[in-house]
Chains A and B, each alone.
Chain A
Amino acid sequence: MIRSLHNTRKYKIGFGVFAGVYFIFLFAPLVMVSILAFNDSMFPSLPWYGFTLDWFIGKGPKKVGLFYNPMNMNAILTSLRVALGVSLLSTFVGTCAAFLFDQEEFRFKKFFYLLMIAPMVVPGVILGISTLSFVNSLGVLMEKSIGIDLRILSPGLLLVMCGQATFITTFVALVIIARLKKFDRSLEDAAYNLGANRFEVIWHITLKYLRPSIISGAAVAFLLSFENFNTTLFLIGSKPTLPIALFAQIRDGGTPVVNAVSVLLMFCMSIIALGNLYLSRKSDGK
């Protein structure tokens, strides 16, 4: 039944086949998307007409590759900007939250902790509509009371960043709290005894210790933001992020350019994720 017990051949083969089918199911769509990005065809489908890189670097007129496709390139840039903003914001607030819940004692701490977890379990669609309605009401209120029409308070990239940061900050905070829990507080006491103040202790000791998890929290925030769709959908203005732009193209059937974008994304995501994995291994080993 388990590896230390004797198992029949049939049992082992049965499980092997199950795992095989499982992995085919898991990888089939990704493999297909990747292969068809290099097919010399006008449609993302078989038959195979031969290998080409046109869907990445083709200049047209028939096949305009990804790098000459302004819609997708702009969407990628927009997504990068949003993801960068969200990771900066979320990492700062998330680090503060980690210190707050791990090192400070205050009234209603349990309540605030639950409140901090909540954005993670609320569906993304609801985060989107709540942010949209709140900001809209705020804008109306401002215009009525002071007579200022604040452009910031209408759908756009800033709003997308705020909406995404609502739940991404929770993820960052949890990543950092996990590491802060393993921190040996006597190191701080030692620094206090040697005459350091609170700020110096945090700056020179605790933050140094936390650095791997802060970087990994920022990476998580970047990835979550870059691929977020449900919350972004309601907050987007005239500039779509990549998932929004891709969604529209895929709904209409998709072209091999979508496959090329996918391959590029898979490549970059894997690098970030592998780097993150390497960092977390390294910090655990210490």
Chain B
Amino acid sequence: MLNYKKRKITWGFVFFFTPVFLWLSLLFVLPHLELLRLSFLGTDYYGKSGLTLSNYSAFFSEPAYWMTFARTAVYSITVTLIILIIALPMAFYITKVVGLRVRGLLTLMIIIPFWVSTLIRVYGWMIILRESGIINRLLIGLAIWTTPLEMLYNDVSLVVGLVHTNLLFMLVPIIGVMDSLDDSLIEAASNLGAGKLMIWWKIILPHCMTGIMSGSIIVFMLITGSYITPSLMGGKNSQWFTQQIYNQFIIAFNWNQGAAFGFLLLAISSLIVWIALRVTGQKLGEVVK
């Protein structure tokens, strides 16, 4: 069975294959199959358990569920776009505009904050934005306003936090592709009289498309799956879908419902990634590389 091209099974192969197989099957494949099975289980009114679609139908019939879901999707797309808009000029500045010596320093400065865990960065924003926070203290101290303003726990603060925690994962792939763009193309276009917008539209963006797509996919997946930032910086009555999963699993102890939510989260993120790839005409293989 395992003979490949009529070669004998070597001990090396067995030695390397066994741990990898155990890892992928015991820790990844079987748990997800079990989760899938759970999502189709449920108890009826008489307390009898059996196969059912009720966990999935509950999602569509209960507005609180699918509203959270839609909110998560819309916000994830919005934040991904905001991050893209910030990352493009920044990547361009670092790879093409700034002097070569400063470049290394700036690259390092971009990466350093991401060595610090998300939790601490979010805590930093809370200290800055909240009612007793730094901005309020400063502005009251300067007599710009008199009563403290709550700037945390709303959608804007949530977006700020999500942008801050995920910027790097867009910047790195875009810097990578922009680096490989030949400067002489831009020089030639400029000499032939093309304006800046035209150069961006016709040369830079098409060249960077793979980097943009892989950055967007990573960032989008990270945002939809994030838990810390929405629960610490978002509003009290505007939940993230991961919090719904947590509520079902840990608080309501309804694992079947939670399992269904988990698969819906997987499905929506894969679907949006697929649509994005289709619209921009990219292939997953090239982007993931």
State the majority secondary structure of interface residues on B: helix
Identify the closest chain A residue to B13 (Cβ).
Answer: A104
B12 near A4: Cβ-Cβ < 8 Å: no
Chain B contacts for A243, CB-based, 8 A: 117, 119
By the criterion CB–CB under 8 Å, are A46 and B13 in contact? no
Q: Which chain A residue lies CB-closest to B2?
A: A106
Q: Are A133 and B259 within 8 A (Cβ)?
A: yes
Among A60-68, A119-127, A210-218, which stretch is in contact with chain B?
A119-127
- Tally chain B residues at the interface, Cβ within 8 Å: 86
Inter-chain contacts of B17 with A (CB < 8 A): 96, 100, 104, 106
Q: B16 in the interface, Cβ–Cβ < 8 Å? A: yes
Q: Give the nearest-CB partner of A164 in chain B.
A: B27
Residue of A nearest to B33 (CB): A134
How close is A116's CB to chain B, nearest CB, in angstroms? 6
**In the complex, chain B residues whose CB is within 8 Å of the CB of A134:** 30-31, 34-35
Interface residues of A in 201-225 (CB under 8 A from B): 202, 223
Complex Cα gap A53–B266 (Å):
46
The answer to whether A162 has its CB under 8 Å from any CB of chain B is yes
Given A92-B19, A96-B20, A19 and B106 contact (CB-CB distance below 8 Å): yes
Would A227 and B265 be within 8 Å (CB), given that A46-B134, A104-B16 are in contact? Answer: no
**A152 at the A/B interface (Cβ < 8 Å)?**
no
Find out whether the CB atom of B122 lies under 8 angstroms from the CB atom of A1: no
- Inter-chain contacts of B228 with A (CB < 8 A): 229-230, 247
Q: Which residues on B sit within 8 Å (CB–CB) of A119?
A: 27-28
Question: Are B164 and A230 within 8 A (Cβ)?
Answer: no
Least Cβ distance of A142 to chain B in Å?
14
Chain A residues whose C-beta falls within 8 Å of the C-beta of B232 in the assembled complex = 247, 250-251
**Cross-chain contact of A1 among B13, B196, B221 (Cβ < 8 A):** B196
| Bound CA–CA A36/B250 (angstroms) | 34
Contact of A27 among B113, B120, B138, B266 (CB under 8 A): B113
Check A118 for interface membership: any CB of B closer than 8 A: yes
Whether a CB of chain B sits under 8 angstroms from the CB of A177 is no
Chain B binder among A69-77, A143-151, A262-270? A262-270
- Which chain B positions have C-beta within 8 A of A44? 127
The answer to whether A116 and B20 touch across the interface, beta carbons within 8 angstroms, is yes
Instruction: List the 7 shortest-distance A-B pairs measured between CB atoms, nearest first.
Output: A29-B124, A123-B225, A134-B31, A227-B117, A130-B31, A100-B16, A46-B137
Q: A125-B242, A229-B119, A262-B123 are in contact. List 18 more A-B contacts (CB 8 A).
A: A29-B121, A29-B122, A29-B164, A33-B124, A46-B138, A97-B23, A105-B7, A119-B27, A123-B242, A123-B266, A125-B246, A130-B34, A133-B31, A134-B34, A246-B119, A247-B228, A265-B116, A269-B117
